[in-house]
């Protein structure tokens, strides 16, 4: 994982650490530590807070280079995938019926 993370130095990617996704800019990967920055948004005050975190690289479960995801919540994400899949299936059926 360390070598993969080093490939994304100074880039923004999604990182799954333990059980939480972060949209983060990788600052450094050294020894078995990962430094990154990420923002949180407070809906009540409409303010963003920039955080700098350090975690062990062994705590990184996954990375994802896709930036524009509707939601990282599994139920929302799956329902959007199903919507997309059903519209694709409908288009395919219409195409098949027109033959």
Whole-structure pTM value: 0.61
Q: 57 and 73: one domain?
A: no
Q: 94 and 83: one domain?
A: yes
Q: What is the mean pLDDT of each run of 10 residues along the chain (99 residues)?
A: 88 90 93 93 87 95 74 59 61 52
Are 78 and 93 spatial neighbours (Cβ–Cβ below 8 Å)?
A: no
| Model pLDDT, residue 4 | 87
End-to-end CA distance of the chain: 49
| Model pLDDT, residue 36 | 96
Hey, what are 79's tokens? 């329902």
Q: Residue 84 is part of which domain span?
A: 69-99
Q: 58 and 73: one domain?
A: no
| Model pLDDT, residue 91 | 47
Of 5, 4, 23, the residue nearest 68 (C-alpha): 23
Distance CA 26, CA 6 (A): 8
| Model pLDDT, residue 2 | 82
| Model pLDDT, residue 58 | 94
Q: Which residues contact residue 11 at a Cβ distance below 8 angstroms, ignoring those fewer than 6 apart?
A: 25, 26
Are 35 and 57 spatial neighbours (Cβ–Cβ below 8 Å)?
A: no
Q: 73 and 91: one domain?
A: yes
| Model pLDDT, residue 73 | 57
If one counts the domains in the chain, the total is 2
Residue 3: CATH number of its domain = 2.30.30
| Model pLDDT, residue 93 | 53
């Amino acid at each position: 994982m360390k070598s993969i993370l080093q490939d994304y130095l100074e880039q923004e990617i999604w990182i799954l650490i333990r059980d939480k996704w972060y949209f983060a800019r990788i600052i450094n990967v050294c020894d078995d530590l990962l430094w990154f920055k990420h923002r949180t948004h407070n809906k009540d005050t409409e303010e963003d807070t920039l955080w700098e975190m350090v975690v062990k690289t062994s705590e990184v479960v996954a990375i994802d280079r896709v930036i524009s995801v509707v939601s990282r919540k599994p139920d929302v994400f799956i329902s959007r995938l199903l919507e997309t899949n059903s519209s694709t299936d409908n288009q395919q059926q219409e195409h098949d019926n027109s033959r």
